[in-house]
Chains A and B, each alone.
Chain A
Amino acid sequence: GAGVSQSPSNKVTEKGKDVELRCDPISGHTALYWYRQSLGQGLEFLIYFQGNSAPDKSGLPSDRFSAERTGGSVSTLTIQRTQQEDSAVYLCASSYSTGSSYEQYFGPGTRLTVT
């Protein structure tokens, strides 16, 4: 079956521009997570969704970052006024539910480069 897909796979943008990253979770998975992976920080949690609600946004680095999920499926992570420190691989994961025992399946990520 289809796994988690993310688009675009690579994005190069100029400092100050806005970007949108998309995640298509596995069909039927109610929980969706966004993580960021960078050389200096490893893999960091950003936000998670249960259905269309985001009970925990504590990992979003600043108010330039926002995310939404519609129809309990596709999610979009938006970064406004991008900065060079936003350069990283943004990973999306989904799981059947939000309990800590549910396996998270990761997408291939979007590599964002801010020049």
Chain B
Amino acid sequence: TQLLEQSPQFLSIQEGENLTVYCNSSSVFSSLQWYRQEPGEGPVLLVTVVTGGEVKKLKRLTFQFGDARKDSSLHITAAQPGDTGLYLCAGAGAGGTSYGKLTFGQGTILTVHP
């Protein structure tokens, strides 16, 4: 079974602080995706990283894929209340599978207080 360990599970911070969410696995993934989910809605894709060592930036969000393609991190700079939500990492292509079955981490519930 391919598992993605995501940490921390809960994060409560003040507006303006920085934070990092980690996603680790013993499996190699062909790609890793980060989603954000609001209550009552499905996950919405934020970014896909494919190449080992890849770094992608989306405004105040920075995503990194580990060199061995087994781990990833999401860093948010100067968090704002609008960043509040459930963040999920998901790996695709584990074990050399060619299709897009996603293996999800447990998620991080982020709360940013004004």
Contact = CB atoms under 8 A, between A and B. Distances in A.
A74 B55 CA distance: 37
Nearest to B107: A42
B106 A4 contact: no
A55 B101 CA distance: 11
A82 B97 CA distance: 32
Interface majority SS (helix, strand, loop, mixed), chain A: strand
A72 interface: no
Interface string B90-101: 101100011111
A95 B31 CA distance: 15
A108 B38 CA distance: 10
Contact of B99 (A42, A55, A91, A106): A55
A33 B104 contact: no
B102 A104 contact: yes
Nearest to B100: A100
A99 B98 contact: yes
Contact of B103 (A4, A45, A56): A45
A113 to B, nearest CB: 14
A50 B99 CA distance: 10
A48 B40 CA distance: 23
A108 B41 CA distance: 4
Interface in B61-107: 88, 90, 92-93, 97-107
Interface string A39-56: 000111100101000011
B45 interface: yes
A4 B44 CA distance: 12
Contacts of A107: 42
B48 interface: yes
A98 interface: yes
Nearest to A43: B104
27 contacts: A4-B42, A33-B101, A42-B104, A42-B105, A42-B106, A42-B107, A45-B103, A48-B101, A56-B99, A91-B42, A91-B43, A98-B98, A99-B98, A99-B99, A100-B30, A100-B92, A100-B93, A100-B97, A100-B99, A100-B100, A101-B31, A103-B33, A103-B48, A104-B45, A104-B102, A106-B42, A108-B42
